[in-house]
A and B are shown apart, each in its own frame.
Chain A
C-alpha cells in the first residue's frame, strides 16, 4: 500500500527580500512546503487562511502594525500547535516578551542550525 507523505508547511516572515529568498530555500531544502510574507500583518492573514502551518520563522523588526514579537505572541495564543522561530539583529526586546516555546536566532544566523531546528520541530 502506498503511503502519501505530506510535506509540513513553513511560513517565512521577513521584509528583506534577499534574506527571505535564502530563508525560503533553506526551509524548502529541509523538506518544507514554504509560503512567505513580508509583513506581520500579511503573515496573520496567511495564518488565518491556511489550514495548517507547522512552523513560522519570523524577523522581529518589520514595517506594519505587527512586529515579530507581537506575531509570536499572537501565534502562541491563537495557534498553539504552530512552532515559532524568531530571528533578529541585536536583542531589542525583553526575553520575557517571547512566548516560552519560541526559539530565538541572532542575525546573521547559522544555516545548518536553523535547518536542523526546523526539522526537529516537525519530527
Chain B
C-alpha cells in the first residue's frame, strides 16, 4: 500500500480490531435503523481495507465482503462526509461496477463516512436501493444517516475502550494509565459532536444525560432532574403529547423509537432536534431501558427555511424583471416607426439593462457604483476617442432600482445624442457630472448631462418612449425632478433627486 491515506486507514482499522469479527447486535441495530430511516432494502456497515471491503453488519445483502473493484464505499471515503449517488448507472465511478451491471443490480447509494477520532476515514454506514432515487435523501434522512454513522464510531470507540480496559485490569499500573487514556479518548470523541447521548432506566425512572446537554443546550447538571418528566417538560407544548404517544407506542412493540420535535434550551428558546433510541426489554418483553441520542437539527432546519425564502425571493424578482422587460418591449413596439427600428432599439435597451444587472450582481451587497453604471450604459456608444465622455463625480454607491433606471436613462440620452446630438459627430462629446448637495432637509444628488460639439439641436416634435425614460424613468423611480433642455449648442439634461432615493435598497425576504 503506497498511498498515505491507505496506510493511515490500515493503522486505524487495526487499532479498532474490528475486521473479521462476528456480528454484534449493536451494529445490526444501527444498520436496521438506517434502512428504516432511509426506507431502503439494503444497509451495510462497511470497512475498506487495502484490497477488500468487509461488512460488520448487513441487511439485504448476502456476501460478507467484496473485492475493492465492487466497492462504492471506497469512493465515499474520498468524498469527506457523505456520498449520495441517485443513479449508479449514470455515475462514471460506478456505472461499470459489476454489482450495478449484474446481480443484484444496485441503483441508489448513500453512504455516511465513518471517521476515526483522528479524522481518518475507515468505512461507511451506507444504504442501497435497487431503484434509482433522483431526489437522493431528504435533509432529515441525510442528517439521520450521519448521526447513525457517528453512533457506529461511538460503538467502535466504546469497544476499543472496553478492550483496553479489560487488558488494563489484568495488567500492570502502566496499562492502567492506558485505560485512563482510552477513557479520555472516548470522552473527547463524544464531546466533539453536538449529539447528546442519554439513557433512561425505566424501572427506577433514572434518566441520565451526558455532558453535551450542558454544552449544546445550556442546561447545567445541577438543575436537571434525573427523570423522564424533566425531559418531557422541555419538549415544546405543541409537540409534547405527540412525542409521549409515540414513545408509549414504541413501548408496546418494537426495538426502536425516533422522533423530531422542538426541545427547549436553558435560555427558553427551542432547538429542532432529532431523537432516536433503542428500547431494551426484559424477558417478559417489558421495556426496562431506553438509550438514545438526541441531535441538534436546528442549523439544518434554519438553512432549509432560508433556502426556501431565497428561492421564493429569486422567483419573485425574476417575475418582476420579466414584467419590466415586457413593459420595455411593449413600449418600444408601441412607439416604433418600423419593426426593424423596434428590434434594434429593444435589443440595445435590453443590453443596457443587462449591463446594469451585471454590475449589481458583481457586488454581493446589491449596490453599484454610480460611475460603473454610467460607463456600462455608455459602452454601446463609445467610439474609443479620448474625451468622448467626460465623467466626473464623487464615489457613490447606489441601490438596485436607481441603478437600473439610471442605466436606461443614460442609454436613451446617448442613443439620442448618437442620432441627433453631439455623439453624431466624430469630435462631439458629453460631460456627465454629479455632486452631492446639502438641501434644506436631506442631501440630494445633482446629475448633469451636457452635450457639446455637435450640430445644432431642436426639440423633437413628439415625445417617444426614449424621452419618457429620460424624463420619468429615474426621476419617477426615486422621486426626483428632470429638466431636459434642447439648447442650440447641445442637449442639457439635469436631474435632482434625494440621495436617499438613489441609495434605497430593495427589502429582501420581507
Taking Cβ atoms with an 8 Å cutoff, the residues of A that contact B are: 16-23, 25, 38, 61, 63, 88-90, 92, 106-109, 111
Contact = CB atoms under 8 A, between A and B. Distances in A.
Contacts of A92: 312, 316
Interface stretch (B106-114, B289-297, B468-476): B468-476
A21 to B, nearest CB: 6
A1 B432 CA distance: 59
B326 interface: yes
A88 B325 CA distance: 15
Contacts of B315: 89-90
A107 B312 contact: no
A18 B469 contact: yes
Interface stretch (B169-177, B327-335, B378-386, B451-459): B327-335
B467 to A, nearest CB: 12
B50 interface: no
B324 A18 contact: yes
B320 interface: yes
A107 B473 contact: no
Interface string B398-418: 000100010010000000000
B319 A17 contact: no
Interface in B283-319: 312, 315-319
A109 B477 CA distance: 21
B322 interface: yes
A75 B324 CA distance: 26
Given A22-B330, A38-B476, A111-B330, A16 B324 contact: yes
A16 B323 contact: yes
A106 B334 CA distance: 23
Nearest to A38: B476
Interface residues of B, number: 29
A107 B472 CA distance: 23
B507 interface: yes
A90 B311 CA distance: 11
Interface residues of B, dominant DSSP: helix
Given A63-B507, A107-B322, A108-B322, A18 B316 contact: no
A42 B316 CA distance: 23
Contacts of B476: 17, 20-21, 38
A107 B325 CA distance: 11
A16 B323 CA distance: 9
B25 to A, nearest CB: 51
Contacts of A25: 330-331, 334
A22 B319 CA distance: 16
B323 A19 contact: yes
Contact of B331 (A21, A106, A107): A21
Contact of B327 (A19, A61, A90): A19
A21 B319 contact: no
Given A21-B468, A89-B323, A90-B316, 14 more contacts: A17-B405, A18-B327, A19-B323, A21-B472, A22-B327, A25-B334, A89-B316, A89-B318, A89-B319, A90-B312, A92-B312, A106-B319, A107-B320, A108-B322
Nearest to B312: A90
A28 B317 CA distance: 27
A89 B320 CA distance: 6
A107 B323 CA distance: 6
Contacts of B408: 18
* 5 nearest A-B pairs in the assembled complex, by CB-CB distance: A89-B319, A22-B327, A89-B316, A17-B476, A107-B319
B330 A109 contact: no
30 contacts: A16-B320, A16-B401, A17-B405, A17-B472, A17-B473, A17-B477, A18-B327, A18-B331, A18-B473, A19-B320, A19-B324, A21-B331, A21-B468, A22-B326, A22-B327, A25-B330, A25-B334, A38-B476, A63-B504, A88-B319, A89-B316, A89-B317, A89-B319, A89-B323, A90-B316, A107-B320, A108-B322, A108-B323, A108-B325, A109-B323
A37 to B, nearest CB: 12
Contacts of A109: 323
A111 B331 CA distance: 12
Contacts of A111: 330
B39 to A, nearest CB: 31
A89 B312 CA distance: 10
Interface in B455-505: 468-469, 472-473, 476-477, 504
A21 B477 CA distance: 11
Interface string B71-93: 00000000000000000000000
Contacts of B324: 16, 18-19
A100 B423 CA distance: 55
B510 to A, nearest CB: 8
B230 to A, nearest CB: 39
A68 B405 CA distance: 23
A23 B401 CA distance: 18
Contacts of A17: 405, 472-473, 476-477
